[in-house]
Structure 1
Amino acid sequence: MTEESKPADLVFTGGRVHTVDARDRIAEAVAVHAGKITRVGTDGEILPLVGKGTRIVRLQGRSLVPGINDSHLHGVWLGLMWPGLLMDQLAGTGGHTHDAPARLEGAEQRRRAILRTADLLASFGVTSYTEPGLGPGEDEGASGCFGSAALRDYADLAAEGLLKARVTALMLFGELDGPSSAAAFEEGLRDFKPPADVPGRFRVAGVKIFADGIPPMRTAWTDRPYDDGTHGSLLIDGGSDAEREAALRAMIGAAHAAGHQIGVHATGDRTTRVVADAFAAALAGNARDARHYIIHGDLLSPQTLTLLASAGIGLNTQAGIPVATEPMLAAALGEDALRDAWPTRDALDAGVRLCLSSDAPVLTPDWRAGLAAAVTRRGLDGAVRGEAQRLAVTEALRAYTITPAWQDGADGWKGSVEPGKAADLCVLDGDLLDVEPEALPSLPVAMTVLGGETVYES
């Protein structure tokens, strides 16, 4: 008897299954055995797999989507801050509302923060996330959330079977949102030994580089001058723009040569252009399936988007950022800058692999809010920011599922509802296509399944 024909452990019937396969097909039912999806189709095709020990979940018209993959989320920091969010604090509308320490001290507090995040994300239907930047560059950091010890905590929790999501991590050899040097970066590449992977649950995939700041703070490196006449600069050590750019290119080249995936925080149009070119040059000199990507990408020219697409470089951005900060960007750089600001529609049309993420706790980790922002581009004040960059619901869902799986190098075994893939699933009390886009955040999550095991049920 083949795996595909064995009695199912878990069956979903009578629903609307968004497979997110290559054709975005809609199915009715799904069978799961030994942690994997074994059959997807109609109720009639699935019911023969029901055995004595099969749990049947009758969707009764509800919908099922692949487990959500938040491809840029600070899990330790979120566990410290939640329900406080950085964007709320900056806007003066929220902050810490639970008894959290000012700094995480020791493995016990870090583990507690990670497990707090695990429970929260499971309740949102998130089954995978990327922790973007943990390492020795932050071992003395103010919050205690980003040091290299957190990598070991993740590995230990994964080995103990306590994580409720699959976690991918990037190493950090400079300061979070701060300076770094090529010398320290190359030393980290050479000397730092991350913990071993825990197959299917935790993996250190590569490195993160902070190339510049952000446009509203006038710290992104831009072609256009800010209102004060400056252009910002790279965060890499150097005595001039040319020296800093050369150092950044050297860091990207060294990490690529060492076999790492690279995610670069790059927001200014000058920075995104240089990073895209450096990625392309590294790939041309040493072709491999690297899956490098730009993080945030606030300002991206059409020429840069074309280069990203042709070189197979991803873009990981947050739809909630433009709806919250576009007026600040316009004040800093002028209305003209908005033509190249957060170009999600243009990126997809150019052929760029687009991931949507939360950057939590900067924004809420609730992907439904991010999906609504991508589809409506409407802020809390009701204003629409960058209407031409809106995505369709199905496009935004792909950017939270199968494309992040590509970023993880795992699209062959997760990210869509297809036979042979991991049974990472999210059940919604309703359907994404049946509600007004503004109402997407209120669509309840009913159940979250990770590898065939229920990790949340309302």
Structure 2
Amino acid sequence: MLRNGSRPAGTVLTGGVVHTLDQEDRVVEALAVRGRLIARAGSAREVAPLIGPDTRVIDLRGRSVLPGINDSHLHGVWLGAMWPDLLMEQLAEGEHEGAPVRLENERQRRAAILRTGRLLASLGVTSYTEPGLGPGEDAGRTGCFGSAALHDYAQLAADGRLTARVTALMLFGQLDGPSTLTALREGLRAFRPPAEVPGWLRVAGVKIFADGIPPMGTAWTDQPYTHGGHGGLLVEGPSPEARAAALTEMIAAAHAAGYQVGVHATGGRAVRTAVEAMRAAAARDGRDRRHYIIHGDLVVPETLTAMADAGIGLNTQPGIAVATGDMLAAALGQEALAGAWPLRDALSAGVRLCLSSDAPVLTPDWRVGVAQAGLPMDEALRAYTVVPAWQDGALAWKGTLEAGKVADLCVLGGDLRTIDPSALPEVPIALTMVDGRVVHQA
């Protein structure tokens, strides 16, 4: 079929439902891949001229193709160490802190990373964000979050052994624990993250824990807890005002150093303080670092408006709402639960919304996340593909299925136009491709 001097594609997928998720939200029949890039997305007739004698032609038989899933908040080393166990399942079974995990050396850490890669390939995940690796956890009890893991990722990426693209955030405080302005400033000055491995590993920013979580009474909330008090910030300081000022300075310092900032903030006061700090930091130099709030359980409408105006993203996990809703209500009351995790309000306000798994806290299966989100299918899919690519600063080359972008995609065993989001977990993943290479095929 090759004609007009066109170079043949290596792979053509045709006869299906290709959700490009581009700006026009085109749904087409076929896709051509040449090398590591998408060569053409269009009708079967438009793509047919790129079929040559050696082209692999995949008959989709009506199945759906999506851009590769980007899980924008997933602990890859920890997941590889724990799987198939999940933290929320362990807690539900009465294990107060979950079964112990301890990686002792480089071999174990790298084996965990590669195990996660195989698991994610089987789920159609082609990119993910490691949200917190660094010197703040070098003495941590699990061995999953220290700075050595960053260097393991870099070596695996350089060796061509990763099957998913990784964006990482540095951690200068304790995971789910206290941090200080002094430690963050010293980390920014002295710690040297590994160099970028183009397309495969980039240390993009800094993770900061602002507060804890509502069920434990450690989120900094507007509402009083049923046991009294409003929680507080994890950032060290002699008073709530001093801690808020320190958090503001931490965000400003990371921004000034050229880094994106992802702030774990769940209570309304914590989210508001972090958003105000992000807005102020960006206003000083006019630079958009794509800062974002992680979790945002109790974010209020006024803060969502401020986030949208400032281009601050929200990265949240629908499964946490399902798993901890009753606990949040017990800690803060039913009225607080009614306003928690306002995904539709965030979208209506214009906030860039990422859905993610927080695996191994929850399952890494994004299909479950879509089913739990309660959003229209197209909005949920964008929150797992297009918006995470924006968060990564990579929307120019990944996140949609368009000519010239990398061939990261997954094939699902059904037509998504006829499937209710609640039924998505039952739809199998038939094929996963990363950088033009098939890394999973059922």
TM over 0.5: yes
Report the Cα offset of residue 367 of structure 1.
Answer: 0.4
Report the Cα offset of residue 288 of structure 1.
Answer: 1.1
Q: Where does 1:256-271 land on structure 2 (aligned, <5 Å)? A: 256-271=255-270
Aligned counterpart, 2:14:
13
Compute the TM-score of the two structures, normalised by the length of structure 1.
0.94
Does residue 448 in structure 1 map to residue 432 in structure 2? yes
- Contact 1:84–1:94 at 8 Å: present in 2 too? no
- Structure 1: which amino acid aligns with 2:8? P
The Cα offsets for residues 357-403 of structure 1, whole Å up to 9 and x where unpaired, read as: 0000000000000011013xxxxxxxxxxxxxxx1001000000000
CA distance in 1, matches of 2:382, 2:7: 30
Report the Cα offset of residue 436 of structure 1.
Answer: 3.1
- Contact 1:422–1:451 at 8 Å: present in 2 too? yes
Q: Where does 1:105-120 land on structure 2 (aligned, <5 Å)? A: 105-120=104-119
The Cα offsets for residues 286-312 of structure 1, whole Å up to 9 and x where unpaired, read as: 111210000000011110000000000
- Structure 2: which amino acid aligns with 1:289? D
- Structure 1: which amino acid aligns with 2:76? G
CA distance in 1, matches of 2:422, 2:38: 32
Aligned counterpart, 1:76:
77
Aligned counterpart, 1:423:
407
Stretches of structure 2 that go unaligned for 5 or more consecutive residues are: none
Aligned counterpart, 2:143:
144
Stretch of structure 1 that moved more, 317-326 or 442-451: 317-326
SS of 1:238's equivalent in the other structure is coil
SS of 1:130's equivalent in the other structure is strand
Aligned counterpart, 1:130:
129
Report the Cα offset of residue 435 of structure 1.
Answer: 2.2
- Structure 2: which amino acid aligns with 1:246? A
CA distance in 2, matches of 1:185, 1:91: 35
SS of 1:256's equivalent in the other structure is helix
Report the Cα offset of residue 101 of structure 1.
Answer: 8.0
- Contact 1:82–1:96 at 8 Å: present in 2 too? no
Q: Where does 1:89-238 land on structure 2 (aligned, <5 Å)? A: 89-92=90-93, 102-238=101-237
Kindly, what percent of the aligned residue pairs are identical? 66
CA distance in 2, matches of 1:95, 1:329: 17
Aligned counterpart, 1:344:
343
Aligned counterpart, 1:57:
58
1:258/1:400 CA distance change after superposition, 3 Å: same
Report the Cα offset of residue 94 of structure 1.
Answer: 9.0
Report the Cα offset of residue 102 of structure 1.
Answer: 3.4
- Contact 2:370–2:422 at 8 Å: present in 1 too? no
Aligned counterpart, 1:383:
none
CA distance in 2, matches of 1:6, 1:275: 51
Report the Cα offset of residue 23 of structure 1.
Answer: 2.4
Aligned counterpart, 2:331:
332
Aligned counterpart, 2:383:
399
CA distance in 1, matches of 2:14, 2:333: 53
Stretches of structure 1 that go unaligned for 5 or more consecutive residues are: 376-390
- Structure 2: which amino acid aligns with 1:227? T
The Cα offsets for residues 297-328 of structure 1, whole Å up to 9 and x where unpaired, read as: 00111100000000000000001111121111
Aligned counterpart, 2:313:
314
Compute the TM-score of the two structures, normalised by the length of structure 2.
0.97
- Contact 2:28–2:41 at 8 Å: present in 1 too? yes
Aligned counterpart, 1:26:
27
Does residue 88 in structure 1 map to residue 101 in structure 2? no
Does residue 438 in structure 1 map to residue 422 in structure 2? yes
CA RMSD of aligned residues (A): 1.9
- Contact 1:267–1:299 at 8 Å: present in 2 too? yes
Report the Cα offset of residue 96 of structure 1.
Answer: 12
The Cα offsets for residues 255-291 of structure 1, whole Å up to 9 and x where unpaired, read as: 0011000000000000001111110111111111210
CA distance in 2, matches of 1:159, 1:95: 39
CA distance in 2, matches of 1:368, 1:411: 22
Report the Cα offset of residue 148 of structure 1.
Answer: 0.1
Q: Where does 1:349-368 land on structure 2 (aligned, <5 Å)? A: 349-368=348-367
Aligned counterpart, 1:253:
252
- Structure 1: which amino acid aligns with 2:354? C
Report the Cα offset of residue 447 of structure 1.
Answer: 0.4
Stretch of structure 1 that moved more, 171-180 or 434-443: 434-443
1:96/1:313 CA distance change after superposition, 3 Å: closer
List structure 1 runs of 4+ shifted beyond 4 angstroms.
93-97
- Contact 1:88–1:95 at 8 Å: present in 2 too? no
SS of 2:418's equivalent in the other structure is coil
Stretch of structure 1 that moved more, 407-416 or 429-438: 429-438
Report the Cα offset of residue 93 of structure 1.
Answer: 7.9
